[in-house]
Amino acid sequence: MTQDEFWALISLLDKEQMALEHGDGEDDFVTAPLVRALSEQPEQEIIAFDDILSGFLYELDGQSYAYHAGVCGQYEDLFLYCRCVAVASGRSAYHEIAADPTAMPAEMEFEPLITVVERAWFKKTGKEYEHETIFSVEMYANKMNWPD
């Protein structure tokens, strides 16, 4: 999967609905088009999508990004979900944020992006997804972006 293909799939997310507050389970309609499109890909492409996603999330794992994420940058899970907002916002928004941490979305999170691969995999194969991504998406994993 190329980065162009990755960003084309990300563009299937409903950005306007993503920004709204939703109750548990109500975000499915935001991610459903992406899950459906991913599940129609060959298994290797689903894995490639996951690896590319992990790389983009890893790139934004850093102290300056966390600082500009506000309260979300102070908690591991919330900071991951905030980085998901940056990716889910699309290619140009992502690259703007990557180049300028002050553009990091503050007090916003989009946890459902983390589950789209697992959901697509299950829809395609009927099995649980067990792939370990190339990059860790955990906070502090990108040692180059965190001072000692």
Q: What is the pLDDT of residue 136?
A: 97
Q: pLDDT higher for 19 or 64? A: 64
pTM: 0.93
Chain mean pLDDT for the chain: 92
* Separation of alpha carbons 110 and 80, rounded Å: 9
Mean pLDDT of 8-18: 85
- 30 or 117: which leads in pLDDT: 117
- Average pLDDT over every residue of 130-141: 96
- Predicted pLDDT at 147: 86
pLDDT exceeds cutoff 90 at 48: yes
Q: Are 41 and 34 in contact (CB under 8 A)?
A: no
- pLDDT of 82 above 70: yes
What phi, psi does 12 have (nearest 5°)? -75, -15
Exposure string (b/e) for 104-135, b if CB count within 10 Å is 16 or more? bbeebbbebbbebbbbbbeebeeeebeeebeb
Instruction: Categorize the per-residue pLDDT at 107 as very low, low, confident or very high, splitting at 50, 70 and 90.
Output: confident
